[in-house]
Amino acid sequence: MGVLTQIALGVLAISFMTFVAFFGRLPALRHTPIAWMHRVIWVYIPSAILAIDQRLTSGRLTTGLGRFGTYVMYGRHPTVLIFFLLLLTVGEYMYLPGVWPRMSLMHRFFGSISIVLPYLFLYLSAHGDPGVVTPTSHARYMSHYPYDFALFHPGQTCRTCGLLKPPRSKHCSVCKRCVHKMDHHCVFINNCVGYGNQHWFILLLLSTAVLTSYGGILGLSAVASAARTQNPAFTLWKPAGWSWREYLVLLTFGIQDDVGVGSVTLLALMTSPLVWGLLAYHVYLIWSGTTTNESMKWQDWQLEMDDGCAFRRALPADRVRDPQYEAPWTRWPVDPVQVLVRTEDGTPPAPGAGPGVGEWERVWGLRDVENLYDLGFWDNLVDVFVPNYPFRQATEAANSDLERGKRRAKKASKAPRASSLVAAAT
Ligand SMILES: [Zn+2]
Ligand SMILES: [Zn+2]
């Protein structure tokens, strides 16, 4: 096997592992081969190893291996974070000596910034508080969002932490703590992504995506100029009239000319779409006012709706809140207008069951229910990037300001839906 084939295979293997580790658990990929491969790598292979061990050593090592496996799978440890850091640092160490001398002053300036930023955002998202729910932070997080009576209901206590679960929070089984607006536990940063560090995580994705694209494109130009030493007519786009063989021979020469530059360029070009894809997925989550955790819960609701087991009815705005379970006031500018419940057998719940007023109405699709946490892309973005932003005061100020009719119109468009739902039910 030639050096180039080995490099290409190594790069492919790293890209593939990165891809599966990044994307394998995304809800959108639940029924695809990627999710299956993710399970093969993380579940089937480890259990096969355990089964073989059970047979060979009569289970003597199983307990130890099991403990080790649990630690690797579910423990909080920086293995993947170190792998990520090594990939960045070793890549830069192999790449820069070949490319730096050819870079213009401008590229050296922007290149230095794009090298430093991923480290900075990695540190901030890994080291920062993701929004851990503690007795000190509890009251503040309770007043951030109202319960939506669909994904989050008042009165639920975390069995481990012993605290009332604030709306949009989730207990992280890896970190063994409740995290406010929990998105997911990310092994690359060895931390949860939640209310406190979601903006750093998005910036980490953005800066890594820019770095891999920038490095890939600069690397390609280095590869091309190396190939041009053999034939000045070489271009990255196959020149017209050249045979594939001619073109590939020179391209291979360009890549092999400096193995460090060539292999890191290939790695950067292959991982770049993955990082951009993950960034796009998170921008999509912000656009739809949800989190990875909540999008999975909505998918479960969709299954209930497909089975005809989901029902809703109106929740009046003037309902009485139990101060023991709900914050008397939240900074969120909208309040829940609906209750969503599921029944086992698809019969509507009893009229007196649960909160809300009026008849229970069967719901067939997610478009028929309101996502309370979606204020529109701009405000959702503000919610991610401006911690503790006082939405309610801002909305009230905007409503009294005739200059800003746009925001007023948007809020007004939500209000009729809410009032018509209440009106139809009462
Ligand atoms: Zn908890
Ligand atoms: Zn966690």
Ligand number nearest CA of 158 is: 1
Q: How far is the CA of 241 from the centre of ligand 2 (A)?
A: 56
242 contact partners, CB below 8 Å, separation of at least 6: none
If one counts every other C-beta atom within 10 angstroms of the C-beta of residue 10, the result is: 13
Ligand number nearest CA of 165 is: 1
Q: How far is the CA of 71 from the centre of ligand 1 (A)?
A: 19
Give me the numbers of helices (H) and strands (E) for the chain, helices first please. 14, 7
If one counts every other C-beta atom within 10 angstroms of the C-beta of residue 104, the result is: 9
Q: Mark the ranges of the chain whose per-residue pLDDT is less than 50.
A: 404-405, 407-426
Looking at residue 417, its pLDDT comes to 41
257 contact partners, CB below 8 Å, separation of at least 6: 223, 226, 227, 229
Q: How far is the CA of 185 from the centre of ligand 2 (A)?
A: 4
The amino acid that residue 389 corresponds to is: Y
Q: How far is the CA of 30 from the centre of ligand 1 (A)?
A: 26
Ligand number nearest CA of 133 is: 1
Ligand number nearest CA of 194 is: 2
Owner of token pair 């089937």:
44
Q: How far is CA 242 from CA 90, 225, 231, 249, in A?
A: 36, 18, 12, 11
Looking at residue 423, its pLDDT comes to 38
Report which of 179, 205, 209, 202 is spatially closest to residue 192, judged by C-alpha positions.
179
Strands (E), 134-194: 170-172, 177-179, 184-186, 191-193
Looking at residue 103, its pLDDT comes to 92
Q: How far is the CA of 134 from the centre of ligand 2 (A)?
A: 15
Q: Are 263 and 7 in contact (CB under 8 A)?
A: yes
Q: Which three-class secondary structure state does DSSP give residue 229?
A: coil
The angle formed by the CA atoms of residues 413, 394 and 121, to the nearest 5 degrees, is: 105
Q: How far is CA 331 from CA 142, 256, 390, in A?
A: 10, 58, 6
List active site positions: 186
pTM over 0.95: no
Q: How far is the CA of 196 from the centre of ligand 2 (A)?
A: 13
Q: How far is the CA of 215 from the centre of ligand 1 (A)?
A: 41
pLDDT tens-digit map of 335-349: 999 999 999 888 888
